[in-house]
Structure 1
Amino acid sequence: MKTTVASQKETGAIIAFTTVLFGGYFAVLSSLPSQLQHKYHFNALQVGLCYIPYGAGSLTSRWTLGKLIDWNFRRHAKNHGIEIVHNRQVQLISMPVERARLQITLPAIYCASIVMVGYDWTMNYKVDLAGPLVMLFFISHLVSGATSTLITLMIDCHVDGPATANSANNLFRCCFGAGAVAAAVPLINSIGIGWTSTLIGFVWVAFSPVLWGVYFWGHEYRKTKEARQQ
């Protein structure tokens, strides 16, 4: 069932990009302890404290990107005459929910790509610790918000089976994430952390047309699929 969900055009595109985004994010995040120990000679306690900006960035994304996403969703719903009722499922077949979500998500992804490059080059040149930690906060802030929005979009496209859609997403992104984490340290040792982050940022931007396809054609595909099922 999970592979059936992933084989659908729109859902497959969302899962594919979420997987790439998640893998690159955790590849760099997993290298944080070794980089801090090597470049700043930190002990385990100091390394653990450096994860605080990561947690803070994830937490605060709900009050920035989360609020923007909700506002944009309500704006689109109002334009299409759909009433939003708290704790009640809304039929979204007549609404281009893909645009409502991705109008905020795509800029966040491009900003995350820029910040990712900045984070690892500041780490590469061993600047003052405040530099990498501030960058780490914004990476977490942007990537967490973008990932949660993509997951929400996928559930919007499968209101009749949200658990299955989410499980399919978790299956692919966790498997790919494990591989990315395993490859992170050898890649950093080979080309350096600065070029590793540049490569990840480039991959995110290079894969972003997948989401643009969902943005422009996802709603039509969803309506066609609904009509075929009926």
Structure 2
Amino acid sequence: MGYGWCLEKKTSVAVPLVLHFFTGYTSIVMLNSTQTLLVDLLPSQGSSVTACNNFIRCSLAAVLVSVVDIADKSLGPGWAFVLFGGLCVLVAPLLYVVVRIGPRCRQKRLAQ
């Protein structure tokens, strides 16, 4: 959200760069955690799981890239990024679901 408002207010380039660092770190942590969980749940199908995960992730990214331009033109960068940030906050509880369900799924798989 801060990135959108930095663009809207035309701040120094240093502020968006610092925000890029935190956004990149958070994205990599989520991607690596998700990928590790998926491979851990289905270790015999690691390449298939990785391919499906990348396909879905890249497809959703392509859709989001086209939506960002529309939202930016209609709402402005500040409010467009508030909208996208709000969507991220809404789906954040799903990470908790993964943390709760993941170990149980692994124990079930190992018990079989």
TM-score (norm 2): 0.87
Q: What RMSD over aligned residues (CA atoms) do the two structures have, in Å?
A: 1.7
2:31 is equivalent to residue 147 of structure 1? yes
Q: Matched residue of 1:160: which SS?
A: helix
Q: Which has the higher helix share?
A: 2
Counterpart selection for 1:194 from 78, 87, 109: 78
Q: Please tell me the residue identity of whatever aligns with 1:213.
A: V
Counterpart selection for 2:58 from 171, 174, 177: 174
Aligned residues: 112
Q: Highest Rg: 1 or 2?
A: 1
2:96 is equivalent to residue 212 of structure 1? yes
CA shift in 2, pair 1:145/1:222, >3 Å = closer
1:34-113 equivalences under 5 Å are: none
The runs of 5 or more residues in structure 1 that have no matched partner are 1-116
Q: Matched residue of 2:42: which SS?
A: coil
CA shift in 2, pair 1:202/1:152, >3 Å = same
CA distance in 1, matches of 2:45, 2:39: 8
The answer (yes or no) to whether the contact 2:2–2:19 under 8 Å persists in 1 is: yes
> How far has the Cα of 1:155 moved from its partner?
1.4
CA shift in 2, pair 1:141/1:219, >3 Å = closer
The runs of 5 or more residues in structure 2 that have no matched partner are none
Moved over 4 A (4+): none
2:45 is equivalent to residue 161 of structure 1? yes
Q: Deviations over 1:68-122 (max 9, x none)?
A: xxxxxxxxxxxxxxxxxxxxxxxxxxxxxxxxxxxxxxxxxxxxxxxxx111111
